[in-house]
A = this chain, B = another copy of it.
Amino acid sequence: MKQLPHKTIARLSQYRRSLLMCYANGKNHIYSHEIAKIQHITAVQVRRDIMLIGYTGTLRKGYNIKELIDIISKIIDSKDVIKVCVVGVGNLGRAMVNYFSGKRTKLSIVACFDTDPNKINKKVTGVKCYSVDDMKKIIKQKNIKIGIMTVPADKASETADKLVSAGIKGILNYTPKPVYVPKDVFLEEYDMITSLEKVAFFVKTHIER
């Protein structure tokens, strides 16, 4: 299959989540416009994405939810479990671990790291916390491929460097500080302040105009 657009990948992940909920509720088929409504996008967009992954629905009946879930999973899930670690066990780090525990079979948070002796060797929602000093060792040992950064901003660069040198292949940076990684490491940065400021901007223009 040709390369899928980044945006499509992100939407497929979201479709799957909604589809899983629908399926859990006993629903078997779904129309493009129903998916669209859930995701706040257009039905054409949905059909186009589904076309791109090569699945076809049934005319007048819509898409078979189970089948669609399986197709999407085949595309976005890896064959084997990909292991993930969380660096920085603050509120955000705990939220991540919590949020994930047992949700995805193909993605598994297997370790977290912190500098606080009170946290080291304790468990966070079933995930053991190690010292950041052992990061490289543990990451190699457990073959962890993705690192989620939830450390304070001033530790961002050094954390990224450590992750990279330990052989991590993907980083999700939740600190407000952009980091540098070699180009064979996939980097996704998300910053809550920016999101809030974006909302504020639109609220402001709505209020002030």
CB distance from A137 to the nearest CB of B (A): 21
> Are A196 and B91 in touch, CB under 8 angstroms?
no
Q: Is A204 an interface position by the 8 A CB rule?
A: yes
| CB of A40, distance to nearest CB on chain B (Å) | 6
User: Of A6, A98, A192, which is in contact with the most chain B CB atoms at under 10 Å from its CB?
Assistant: A192
Closest Cβ neighbor of A91 among chain B residues:
B95
Query: Is A59 positioned at the interface, with any CB of B under 8 Å from its CB?
Result: no
Q: A38-B178, A193-B17 are in contact. Are A186 and B170 (CB under 8 A)?
A: no
A103 at the A/B interface (Cβ < 8 Å)? yes
Bound state CA distance, A82 and B196, in angstroms?
A: 11
A93 to chain B minimum Cβ distance, whole angstroms, is 8
In the complex the two chains form, what is the Cα distance from A208 to B189 in whole Å? 24
Contact A91 B82 (CB under 8 A): no
Whether the pair B208, A78 counts as a contact (CB closer than 8 A) is yes
A10-B194, A186-B206, A207-B169 as given contacts; A146 in contact with B200, CB under 8 Å:
yes
Q: Looking at chain A's contact residues, is the secondary structure mostly helix, strand, loop, or mixed? A: helix
Contact among B99, B170, B189 with A200 in the assembled complex (CB-CB below 8 Å): B170
Give chain B residues whose Cβ lies under 8 Å from the Cβ of A103. 193
Q: Is the CB of A176 within 8 A of B17?
A: yes
- Shortest C-beta distance, A6 to chain B (Å), equals 7
A170 and B193 within 8 A (CB): no
Interface contacts beyond A76-B201, A78-B204: sample of 6 additional A-B pairs, CB < 8 Å, sorted by A: A13-B197, A17-B193, A38-B178, A40-B178, A91-B94, A100-B196
Q: Are B198 and A13 in contact (CB under 8 A)?
A: yes
- Contact for A95 among B21, B90, B107, B189, CB less than 8 A: B90
**Which residues 57-79 in A have Cβ within 8 Å of B in the complex?**
76-79
Check: A18 CB closer than 8 A to any chain B CB: yes
Across the interface, do B170 and A199 meet the contact criterion of CB distance under 8 Å?
A: yes
Asked if A207 and B13 make an inter-chain contact with CB atoms under 8 angstroms apart, the answer reads no
Chain B residues closer than 8 Å to A98, beta-carbon distance: 90-91
